[in-house]
Amino acid sequence: MARKTVVLLGTVVLVFGLDRFGKYAAMSRLDVGERVPLLGDLLSLTHVESLGAALGLFANWSPGAQALVFAALSLICAGLVLSFHRGLAPGEHGSAAGLGAIFAGVLSNAFDRFRHGAGIDFLHLGTPDAVHLPDFNLADVAILLGVLTLIVELLATEMATRAQERPRRSRPSDNPH
């Protein structure tokens, strides 16, 4: 098995497992809507069931329509991740990890939708009287960090390619005439 595949699968197993553990801990210990501080007022364990997607998209749709849309989006995302993975060069381990994080996040959130009929969020940042940040889960964080990793890898590769293609300027001391 290629190393990039080992990195992808290892990331999927790690992220999926951690997210499932966090969701299990919240669901088994807290009622829906309950919040328990973990790091003072900065970070709390919570149990929230979200019917919508990011920014509340599809929240008012029927459960059947939501299931269809989330299934389609999950399959499209999984297909894109696997397609991009296939196109990675053998040494692109950072991109493989980023793709694995995205895949695991999508998989775990899809699992929630089909098992529980809603997304399960279990983390909350900030104090109740501070700016209201949405509750989230590790799958959400993994998707975000995976996308950021791919962007950084793309930019670094592009910058390196441009640096190699750029003609070197000769300094006056390099010119013998």
Q: Which of 19, 112, 121, 135 is catalytic?
A: 121
| Residue 121 falls in the annotated catalytic set | yes
| Residue 135 falls in the annotated catalytic set | no
Q: Which of 19, 112, 135, 140 is catalytic?
A: 140
Q: Letter for the amino acid at 148? A: L
Say if CB 77 and CB 106 are below 8 A apart: yes
Collapsing DSSP states into helix, strand and coil, what is residue 34? coil
Q: Which residue in this structure is represented by tokens 């013998």?
A: 176
**What is the phi-psi region of residue 33: left when phi exceeds 0, alpha when psi lies from -120 to 50, beta otherwise?**
left
Q: Which residues contact 138 (CB under 8 A, 6 or more apart)?
A: 15, 18, 19, 22, 105, 108, 123
With residues binned 3-state (H G I as helix, E B as strand, rest as coil), the percentages for the chain, rounded to 5, are 60, 10, 25
Which of the residues are catalytic? 121, 140
